[in-house]
Amino acid sequence: MTLPIRTYPDEVLRNKSKVVKDINGKIITLAEQMAETMYLSRGIGLAAPQVGESCSLIVVDVGDGLVELFNPTIISSEGLLAPYKEGCLSLPDITLEIKRPDTVFVKGVNRNGKEITIEARDLMARVLQHEIDHLQGTLIIDRISKAHRQLIRGKLKKLRQENT
């Protein structure tokens, strides 16, 4: 089953996600439905708030297989601040050039409750940072300059009109 994707300016996208304390059948089902929703939408990452759930869970697949991560956090980042045009399933028709470190170390828990650390580079590093941002209520439109934001204000207005 796929889930409807929440889009800007839905307030749920602004919530801070709660730590998952009990990885039970219900939340594993949510993770599976999120993966299905991501693939159907041709996305490469999805965070729980994007389907209306304020819990700390992300799914990612940049072409190397599905990664499902509960309570992910960035432990450290390094490397160049690389610019890259990012899209977001919650901001349809908007792509923005965002600068992020090209290497990150991310810690989280898998569905068996085992703690795992991922050293991610390039696209994987970028997607993990983008999805972990969602868990904090941060969107790509928060990571651009005021001047840049002015340029897309028409598109944002259109989304607000469509979604409220």
Which two tokens mark 134? 């969602």
The nearer residue to Zn ion, 23 or 136, going by C-beta atoms, is: 136
Residue closest to Zn ion when measured from CB atoms:
88
The nearer residue to Zn ion, 88 or 159, going by C-beta atoms, is: 88
Smallest gap from residue 148 Cβ to Zn ion (A): 17
Which two tokens mark 19? 């730590």
If DSSP codes are grouped into helix, strand and coil, which group holds residue 57?
Answer: strand
- φ, ψ at 127 (rounded to 5°): -65, -40
Q: Enumerate the active-site residues.
A: 131
Q: How far apart are CA 3 and CA 36, in angstroms?
A: 8
* DSSP-derived secondary structure letter, 15: S
The nearer residue to Zn ion, 58 or 88, going by C-beta atoms, is: 88
- φ, ψ at 93 (rounded to 5°): 70, 15
Smallest gap from residue 80 Cβ to Zn ion (A): 22
The nearer residue to Zn ion, 12 or 114, going by C-beta atoms, is: 12
- Residues lying near Zn ion in the complex (CB under 5 A) are found at 88
> Which parts of 12-142 fold into alpha helices (H)?
25-40, 122-135
**Greatest Cα-to-Cα distance within the chain, rounded to the nearest angstrom:** 46
Smallest gap from residue 90 Cβ to Zn ion (A): 5
Smallest gap from residue 34 Cβ to Zn ion (A): 12
